């Protein structure tokens, strides 16, 4: 019998946020842990960063359609790899998180790229230095039966995008202060 269940393809931003949050929680990721990476990254450049603005940024990014598609696909690829559902060499390549496999990073760069080159640079930092939850996911992914090949990059990319959004908010605040005194830029490298 044909599948008569109506298909739902488009979701509101609120729905996408809720589904993303549920998916991430199910895969062991709390939003606070993503916001924490964002906080650690931006508080290096400014004393004005609050955990609230980091969390707000994470939530906003989780409601974007592009991000929704990335998270949903990434989480499913990892799950299917855990269940050994892929055929051919790609099953072991994904499951073993082969170092030279880079499509997970491509997806991460794509998400971080929503916030431009700075977003991608911030993603590079998180990817290489494996902050907080990204390191925990990466380590847990080495255990038997667990695959985090795509999840660690997606989580790092959400943190990078949120971090860049926070930087933009702080820059906007700075631009509004008409003091005539040259202020620091949070993009300055110390
Ligand atoms: Mg990865």
Task: Check whether 181 has a pLDDT greater than 60.
Answer: no
Confidence tier at 179 by pLDDT (50, 70, 90): low
CA of 145 to the centre of ligand 1 (A): 16
Residue 118 lies in a domain: yes
CA of 104 to the centre of ligand 1 (A): 5
Residue 66 lies in a domain: yes
CA of 23 to the centre of ligand 1 (A): 17
Task: Check whether 138 has a pLDDT greater than 80.
Answer: yes
Instruction: Look up the CATH number of the domain holding residue 48.
Output: 1.10.3760.10
The three-class DSSP label of residue 172 is: helix
Task: Check whether 185 has a pLDDT greater than 70.
Answer: no
- Is the pTM above the cut of 0.85? yes
Residue 188 lies in a domain: no
Average pLDDT score over residue span 151-171? 97
Domain of residue 80, residue span:
29-177
Tokens linked to 97: 């998180």
Tokens linked to 70: 């990335």
Residue 99 lies in a domain: yes
Do 60 and 161 meet the contact criterion of CB atoms below 8 Å apart? no
Confidence tier at 188 by pLDDT (50, 70, 90): low
Q: How many domains does the chain have?
A: 1
Confidence tier at 190 by pLDDT (50, 70, 90): very low
CA of 102 to the centre of ligand 1 (A): 8
Average pLDDT score over residue span 156-184? 84
DSSP 34-95: HHHHHHHHHTTT-TT--HHHHHHHHHHHTT-HHHHHHHHHHHHHHHHHHTT---STHHHHHH
The chain-wide mean pLDDT, for the chain, equals 93
Give me the torsion for CA of 175, 180, 41, 149, rounded to 10°. 40
């Amino acid at each position: 019998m044909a599948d008569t269940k109506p298909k739902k393809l488009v979701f509101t931003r609120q729905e996408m946020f809720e589904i993303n949050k549920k998916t991430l929680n199910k895969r062991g990721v709390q939003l606070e842990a993503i916001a924490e990476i964002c906080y650690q990254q931006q508080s290096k450049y400014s004393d004005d960063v609050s955990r609230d603005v980091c969390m707000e940024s994470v939530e906003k990014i989780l409601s974007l359609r592009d991000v929704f598609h990335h998270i949903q696909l990434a989480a499913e690829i990892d799950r299917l790899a855990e269940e050994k559902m892929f055929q051919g060499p790609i099953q072991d390549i994904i499951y073993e998180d082969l170092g030279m496999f880079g499509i997970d990073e491509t997806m991460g760069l794509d998400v971080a790229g929503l916030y431009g080159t700075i977003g991608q640079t911030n993603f590079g930092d998180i990817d290489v230095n494996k902050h907080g939850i990204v390191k925990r996911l990466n380590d847990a992914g080495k255990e038997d039966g667990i695959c985090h090949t795509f999840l660690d990059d997606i989580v790092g990319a959400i943190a990078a995008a949120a971090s860049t959004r926070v930087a933009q908010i702080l820059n906007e605040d700075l631009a509004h202060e008409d003091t005539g005194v040259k202020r620091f830029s949070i993009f300055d490298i110390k």
